[in-house]
Amino acid sequence: PRSEQAYLRQSCLHLALRLPPLTQRAPPPRETRHTTSIMAANISAEVPTTMDPKLDREPPIEIPDDFGYSVESLLIPSHYNGMVESVMIPHGLIIDRIERLARKIRTDYDGVTVHLLCVLKGGSAFFQDIVEALRAIHRLGNQSYIPFTFDFIRVKSYAGTQSTGNVQITGIDMSTLAGKHCLLVEDIIDSGKTMSVLVPHIQQTAGVASVKVASLLEKRTPKSVGFKADYCGFTIPDKFIVGYCMDYNEAFRDMGHICVISEDGIKEYAEEGGDEV
């Protein structure tokens, strides 16, 4: 069998030649008034099952530390000229990988209604494309049950730029999740601190039938607490990435590729008096 690196090179080359046009994302729904704050100290010391190695997890594609496409080779919006260093993952490869993940999710949840929880804002592009892939699968099926439902939530740290494990959840009444098979849809797992608190909180307080995590990206970083998603598209080096709805001070969300931001990009969109990257 081909190595992951060989698969990546061939897939990128093939898909870069047929990248789909960028599409405008629909704005996320307005938040509800429901808010839940979680302190790490209030969570049981028991390690959630999602942090254990996944024996049945399909291996993600590993992006090498020094890998990247020249910005001259692919389409970058003109207003970001000079603002990105390289293209890490072309849009076409993202979509192909998401379709593969959608098939795996549908197989694992066969006969069960899975309740998708989109983590806004960064996870909205991944969520939209994985829902579209699931719909394509279901259109040709003959299931007699509702294959999936969904909600939108916001999960964010409230300790400045450092992820301490203290998170705030808004946008949903947690009691509505009782008895459901929940799948959190996230854009990227960086240190994993937020998910390592959120997952056991949902397990212990919402009365769910199950909870798993689908993340498009996992970052290889010394800051990691060891959290691994149940479904993962790519593992990436410890670089600051933007695009595909991932932002730097709200910029770059409209870019279809996942790119490494440049020093000029950081300076251009830095907030006055804000933290340095």
Active-site residue list: 190
The closest alpha carbon to 84, from 104, 97, 70, 63, belongs to: 70
Q: Is 37 helix (H, G, I), strand (E, B) or coil?
A: strand
**In the structure encoding, which two tokens stand for residue 198, read together?**
């959120």
**In the structure encoding, which two tokens stand for residue 153, read together?**
């939530």
Q: Phi first, then psi: give them for residue 142, nearest 5 degrees.
A: -130, 35
**What whole-number distance in Å separates Cα of residue 36 and Cα of residue 133?**
31
**What whole-number distance in Å separates Cα of residue 60 and Cα of residue 7?**
11
**In the structure encoding, which two tokens stand for residue 130, read together?**
């994985």
Asked whether the CA dihedral 58, 227, 236, 98 is positive or negative, the reply is: positive
Judge contact between 177 and 210, C-beta under 8 A. no
H/E stretch holding 100? helix 91-108
